Structure 1
Amino acid sequence: MTVALAIAWAHFGRRKHVLTWTASYGVGVLQWLANAAGFFLQSPALYIVTGIGLITSGSLLAIGIRQRSGRPLHVAAFAIPASVVSLMMALAIGSLGSQIMQGMIIPTYVGTLLLVSAASLWPRGRPLTPPEKAFFACLILYAMCQLALAMSATFIRSPTEGKELYRNILGLFMPTIYVGTAVSAVLVVAGDLAQQLRSQMRHDPLTEVLNRRGLEEAAASAIAQARRHDRPLALVICDLDGFKALNDNFGHIAGDQALKGFARLLILAVRRGDIVGRMGGDEFGLLLQDSDAQAAADVMERVRLEVAHLTLPRVPNGALRASFGVAALQPTDRTLEDMVHRADEALYAAKKDGKNRVSIARAIA
């Protein structure tokens, strides 16, 4: 499983959380070796190493989950409790010699840590993906096995009496769920990569808005929804006036900054649910849901005024201007291209009338 996660890290984007999970299972390898050596050599020191390995492995698994979820990560929040539990475990094995404490301390800590990790895995604002569901289930089962292990330790009465249940849980269930958790983690990594690739196929890498393909896919759904609920829909086609001259005079870096700044302005101007895409070059398309042509034009007029005040490092103040063509969804429109044709005509009219203005396409009689 360590090798599988290392391969996943090397080939699936080299994400930090995958490397942390790889380290978790790498520590697990050392922990299992120390445990086996401690059993055959009857060495308390090796059992202490085993306990520290379990604590470290569980902590790294939890840290990786928080890294992936983007939640705040404070190393001290893991290091301090882990150190306290390690000290308690060392005392239980060494000076106290309590087998009940040995059997309870680490499983209780690791089980609680895994339950917190499962909660951290849950994403905000969307349901779990199938790989995430598998990983979540494995984390819960892993936690339950650890807590069951801790409870079974209370039945230990002597070095020989009461250990059967503890050993059965440890030997029959723990290896299986340990491997299952790693397999589901690899599936999560693969699922993240697939989602990333899908996003890259639909988004423009420079401006991070939808590309032409993504815009067409989103438009098909928006048009169908507008027709289903008999609601208005408006398309805006816009571009930067004199963009070629900007590139020629100030360089392509300035041109890229202008495109990114213009895209951010468009995103901020529309509502959640509206669609922004880059159609190519300096041309952008916007679909404004529940908006007629006039309402869309009013929004774009505010954007037009703001474009001139856009401050960018390599672009002179006041160098940017933009023109906008607006077209409303008509009963005869079936695809995005039907709307694009009229919006393009309106944009051409805006350019012809002097640029730096908003023009609305004439409705079909």
Structure 2
Amino acid sequence: MESAVVILFSLIATSLLLCIALAVAWRRFGQEAHAAFWSLAYGLSAANWTANLLKLCFLPAGSSLTLMSAVCSVGSFALIALGFRRRAGLPLRLDAMMVAATVTILLVGFALWGAASSGVQRSAVLLFCAAMMVVSAMSLRKTGHDGRRATGGAAFWMLALFAAYATGLGLLALFGGNAGYDLYRLLFLTGVPTGLFGVGLFAMFLLAADLAEGMRQVAASDPLTGILNRRGFEQAAEPLLARCTGERRPLAVVIADIDRFKTVNDRFGHAVGDLVLQRFAAHMSAMLRPGDLFGRLGGEEFVLLLPDTDGREAVAVMEAARGGLASAVHDLLSIGNVTASFGIASLWRGETLREMIQRADEALYRSKMDGRDRITLCPLAPAGKAVRYEQWTADEPRKAVG
């Protein structure tokens, strides 16, 4: 009995430590709801082991403590599953979980005060816990609304293994009878606490990984517009350029610049200027396809990388964006018409990202010098031949320059 008391005290202490650690993570790591779910789960786990300790020391035949232990165990595993679903951005399905939990508790009560054997009581709780581990594991295979919650690897397999273990243990409790009780007790005391605390440790690892990913995204994002900053754009563009070069796929880079933006800042203030930048970024983002990259180089200058797009196709996309810009800022009539200029370059074989951006920037310079509110394309040219730029405006659909 003394060894059992020591084990239960250890389980209570460990559960409380995980509860506190996850609560701190919730408070410090952006108050993510799934961290709060997991913290509550391990608080209930501590209550479960406390009920078992009280039953062992004071009320060996206490049905109320047994029921309390079952309720805490069911609640703990349900909260773990809810946390994983919340982390993945999936619907919580509280109604289904409440039904399953209620049925489990009713089976435990029927076993305690009815004609069923104690094996039904143990089996019901373990099979419910196994089902929650399956729900948790499958949540790690799903991609939620933010696109970054899906994961797998060791966490998935640990949850799947724990689910299989709990299922086997539940079946042993149901069909093993008195002869299998000693084996059941041994497996329960060695496997279930280990699995439960393993889930807690992996929950902490996932929270740390999410925090690191969030910091990486912040470092790569422009705080004003929410799109990639120069560093983030270059990091994402280099592998895309390498793929397009290796597979000989077309690729276009676009430099966009809001016309006379300094005048907007000087006349109407930086708050209005910031609003124009945000509207422009949102308008351009809405024009892009999955796989396109969009970033802010600095000030009022933006850059786009369009895979599987040649120069003429990029012109068509930017012409639609240029023509629709007025509607994106229609409520800012006091600042007058907002226009933008564009320079486009398509990929030459063996060219670097910096070289592509430089050619697109030269095309943008021509757009600025020739009157703004226009698109200039730097086309492919054979070696030794002079480059002939092509230009598009609203009034002059196409002309050759330079």
Q: Could you say whether these structures have the same fold, taking a TM-score greater than 0.5 normalized by the shorter chain as the test?
A: yes
Distance change (3 Å), C-alpha of 1:165 and 1:320: same
Q: Which residue of structure 2 aligns with residue 352 of structure 1?
A: 369
Q: Which residue of structure 2 aligns with residue 227 of structure 1?
A: 245
Specify the SS of the correspondent of 1:152.
Answer: helix
Q: Comparing 70-79 with 49-58, which one deviates more in the overlay?
A: 70-79
Distance change (3 Å), C-alpha of 1:80 and 1:249: farther
CA distance in 2, matches of 1:144, 1:315: 64
CA distance in 1, matches of 2:240, 2:230: 15
CA distance in 1, matches of 2:371, 2:48: 74
Deviation at 1:44, TM superposition (A): 0.9
Does structure 2 conserve the Cα–Cα contact (< 8 Å) formed by 1:311 and 1:317? no
Q: Deviations over 1:222-272 (max 9, x none)?
A: 332333223332211002123233334444443333222222322232332
CA distance in 2, matches of 1:267, 1:16: 29
Q: Which residue of structure 1 aligns with residue 71 of structure 2?
A: 52
Q: Comparing 7-16 with 297-306, which one deviates more in the overlay?
A: 7-16
Distance change (3 Å), C-alpha of 1:170 and 1:329: same
Counterpart residue identity of residue 47, structure 2: L
Tell me, which stretches of 5 or more residues in structure 2 are unaligned? 1-17, 386-402
Q: Deviations over 1:162-206 (max 9, x none)?
A: 311210121111111111111111111111112112222222233
Deviation at 1:317, TM superposition (A): 9.1
Q: Which residue of structure 2 aligns with residue 183 of structure 1?
A: 201
Does structure 1 conserve the Cα–Cα contact (< 8 Å) formed by 2:329 and 2:338? no
Distance change (3 Å), C-alpha of 1:26 and 1:261: same
> Pairwise mapping of residues 188-267 of structure 1 onto structure 2 (< 5 A)?
188-267=206-285
Q: Which residue of structure 2 aligns with residue 10 of structure 1?
A: 27
Q: Comparing 269-278 with 184-193, which one deviates more in the overlay?
A: 269-278
2:123 is the alignment partner of 1:104: yes
Q: Comparing 145-154 with 280-289, which one deviates more in the overlay?
A: 145-154
CA distance in 1, matches of 2:379, 2:121: 81
Task: Give the fraction of aligned pairs with identical amino acids, expressed as a percent.
Answer: 37
Q: Which residue of structure 2 aligns with residue 148 of structure 1?
A: 168
User: Which structure's relative contact order is higher, taking Cα pairs within 8 Å and 6+ residues apart?
Assistant: 1
Task: Give 1:71's match in structure 2, choosing from 83, 90, 93.
Answer: 90
Specify the SS of the correspondent of 2:345.
Answer: strand
Does structure 2 conserve the Cα–Cα contact (< 8 Å) formed by 1:310 and 1:320? no
Does structure 1 conserve the Cα–Cα contact (< 8 Å) formed by 2:364 and 2:376? yes
CA distance in 2, matches of 1:37, 1:97: 24
Task: Give 2:104's match in structure 1, choosing from 73, 85, 98.
Answer: 85
Task: Give 1:22's match in structure 2, choosing from 23, 35, 39.
Answer: 39
Does structure 1 conserve the Cα–Cα contact (< 8 Å) formed by 2:264 and 2:335? no
What value does the CA root-mean-square deviation take over the aligned residues?
2.4
CA distance in 2, matches of 1:206, 1:341: 25
Q: Which residue of structure 2 aligns with residue 339 of structure 1?
A: 356
Specify the SS of the correspondent of 2:315.
Answer: helix
Tell me, which stretches of 5 or more residues in structure 1 are unaligned? none
Does structure 2 conserve the Cα–Cα contact (< 8 Å) formed by 1:239 and 1:323? yes
CA distance in 1, matches of 2:122, 2:22: 29
Q: Which residue of structure 2 aligns with residue 287 of structure 1?
A: 305
CA distance in 2, matches of 1:332, 1:102: 70
Deviation at 1:331, TM superposition (A): 4.3
> Pairwise mapping of residues 302-313 of structure 1 onto structure 2 (< 5 A)?
302-311=320-329
Deviation at 1:323, TM superposition (A): 0.9
Specify the SS of the correspondent of 1:287.
Answer: strand
User: What is the TM-score normalised by the length of structure 1?
Assistant: 0.90
